[in-house]
Structure 1
């Protein structure tokens, strides 16, 4: 699509604006990770009850995702991103200020809904900017999300020790709000409201889409487990202090961010299927070492190695979903992303229920097995190969 110099500059600013929204969203999620052990202690609840609270977070996100999609179809992605990202800035503070179990449950439900709604709208906005710019920005946008998680998780434990859990949440809110207010001024989106409109969603009949969805599911369940339970695992089962425990998700997100920024080059060199196989093996090895390491420092390094492997697995699954035969890209992507995010947001609550009785080390070992299954299923992602016409995901 031809563009004037002014509109091209607007789109460039829009590209970095949506990257900033990804960064803030990841920062908020990463900042929640070190708050989890604090929530357990201050409410004096069991891992089972904490698992129910985290389930509420995931349920809120999954409920909000189709609602956000409806709003985007009606109004375009830009105003939806603006509204939800602004509200999302206050989500963690609501959880930190909630005084009792019922209020924390409600706050987490709302926080999850705002995170999930923002996630859908920022991805839709990134797609719109991609189309208007004529080049891909999705992979690096997700890299910014991981970078935000790295910063939020890495600094969160130290901030809680220094400022308390409410002070930490206040600082997180101030940073998120300021960045959101600046970024949303420069968002670009669909060229016209009609671009945001689409046909009613229907379930695809191609069974390969659901198998690719399992790849996304098996890749995202470990990510959700590290987010919600790695800090508690290191603190309770490996004797780490609060600040050190928060480094587990930080290391995981940091290596994931680095590999997502470099992932296009790796995928171009090896191909999608080979990249998925190598990535799955690296991720499985890291998760297994983290499960059985007696030393917190080694476990943190192992979680970081696992993040390095998982980084490219979900983008490859999404690319394969969008290039299946006989169905639209939207139908394939909608199905696979829903399956994947269910693993990221809901499965960790089940892990909490089990972990209360078994400990978390055996669970991380089982998750290593899920990643091995992805290696065995990698051939199903062949539609993501560039030779098959799969889209390039080079960073802009």
Structure 2
């Protein structure tokens, strides 16, 4: 294969993985406006809702734990194809659940498919970065945020005017169509990443776990906006469903814009400096959101939080996928699993606290977690991107 042909395939693969990021974000963002309806439809408390969202996290972490092994054996392209197609139906399965028991199973499956898709698409993005000899991780996450913005912005209106089931059906059709087209153009690793006998080994270097801890603290905060911002605006600040859905939409929309700019910012100022500035902005936005007396100020504060969080996760994932002495799939699996494991604790804990007080103090406390990431930023130095392109065949 000539160098020109290899680069053309890598360019197509770059847009293909961007399409997968877009579909994953669209599915996730479309879940946010479904949450208030989900709560009332099943007639459950906020604590029970937190436990159901907890099952989403359990499913995600279970899939992520095995994804590094699957990618090492079969490559990120093959794993991403299967998880992408299955994940397209996750929201519809949740919307069809008629009671709490079936909703619990549906949330487990939804989380598993989205979680496995997440590890595989980030690992494939690392492969594309190496093939193209340039960073694409932030802009790939920009497509995820763009999908989340579209899902959150349109979801509230669609549910209010056409119903939650019609909304879930259309979301599924769109996501499936995007994934089905994209998977034909994904690129693959040149060779297996690790030997078979190493499949259950955990990395020994502590840095990857510190990066994973930073991802955990960041994604707890990001997940709190996804799972609880709409309910916060609707129940405590008096917003209707359409306006409440704008909280996550504004958060994701600003994240999308900043992530498309993020690769250039990271290349100019460095990953560590960018991470520090981003964490400071995110903490400030979350703090103001928790103190907000009105829904519109809260929406603006969540948007500023999105401005900060935008490039934190891409930098941390890039650091995880570029650790020395391990494959990109293994490093990515550790960081994403630790990051999403925050979902195992945060939803039920937040639901329990909100049941006895309010969401405002919770968002203020989450700003403190982002300050911790600021203080740990130097551990993400492996995200100082250095190209390592695969040789042409």
TM-score normalised per structure 2: 0.91
- 2: CA distance, partners of 1:333 / 1:122: 10
- 2: CA distance, partners of 1:391 / 1:362: 41
Partner in structure 2 of residue 106 of structure 1: 105
Partner in structure 1 of residue 85 of structure 2: 86
Distance 1:92 1:281, change over 3 A: same
Distance 1:316 1:178, change over 3 A: closer
My pick for the range that moved more, 173-182 or 40-49, is: 173-182
1:391 to 368, 386, 390: 386
My pick for the range that moved more, 9-18 or 200-209, is: 200-209
Task: State the Cα deviation string for residues 291-336 of structure 1 (Å, max 9, x = none).
Answer: 11111011001001001101122233334445667x5364554433
Deviation at 1:345, TM superposition (A): 5.6
Deviation at 1:346, TM superposition (A): 4.5
2:45 is aligned with 1:59: no
- 2: CA distance, partners of 1:133 / 1:382: 21
- 2: CA distance, partners of 1:221 / 1:281: 16
Task: State the Cα deviation string for residues 84-113 of structure 1 (Å, max 9, x = none).
Answer: 211211111111111111111111111111
2:146 is aligned with 1:147: yes
Preserved contact between residue 59 and residue 109 of structure 2 (Cα < 8 Å): yes
Distance 1:383 1:72, change over 3 A: closer
- 2: CA distance, partners of 1:392 / 1:78: 20
Secondary structure of 2:185's aligned partner: coil
The 4+ residue runs of structure 1 with deviation greater than 6 A are: none
Preserved contact between residue 56 and residue 110 of structure 2 (Cα < 8 Å): yes
2:283 is aligned with 1:284: yes
Structure number with greater CO (CA < 8 Å, separation at least 6) is 2
- 1: CA distance, partners of 2:331 / 2:172: 35
Deviation at 1:197, TM superposition (A): 6.0
Runs (5+) with no aligned partner, structure 1: none
- 2: CA distance, partners of 1:272 / 1:22: 21
Task: State the Cα deviation string for residues 248-291 of structure 1 (Å, max 9, x = none).
Answer: 11111111111111112222333333222221111111111111
Deviation at 1:218, TM superposition (A): 1.5
Deviation at 1:374, TM superposition (A): 1.9
- 1: CA distance, partners of 2:289 / 2:28: 22
Distance 1:237 1:19, change over 3 A: same
Distance 1:382 1:68, change over 3 A: closer
My pick for the range that moved more, 133-142 or 224-233, is: 133-142
Deviation at 1:10, TM superposition (A): 2.6
- 1: CA distance, partners of 2:331 / 2:57: 22
- 2: CA distance, partners of 1:81 / 1:333: 14
Deviation at 1:377, TM superposition (A): 2.4
Preserved contact between residue 321 and residue 329 of structure 1 (Cα < 8 Å): no
Partner in structure 2 of residue 260 of structure 1: 259
2:10 is aligned with 1:11: yes
- 1: CA distance, partners of 2:333 / 2:367: 26
- 2: CA distance, partners of 1:84 / 1:315: 20
Secondary structure of 1:136's aligned partner: coil
> Aligned Cα RMSD in Å?
2.3
Secondary structure of 1:185's aligned partner: helix
- 2: CA distance, partners of 1:10 / 1:190: 12
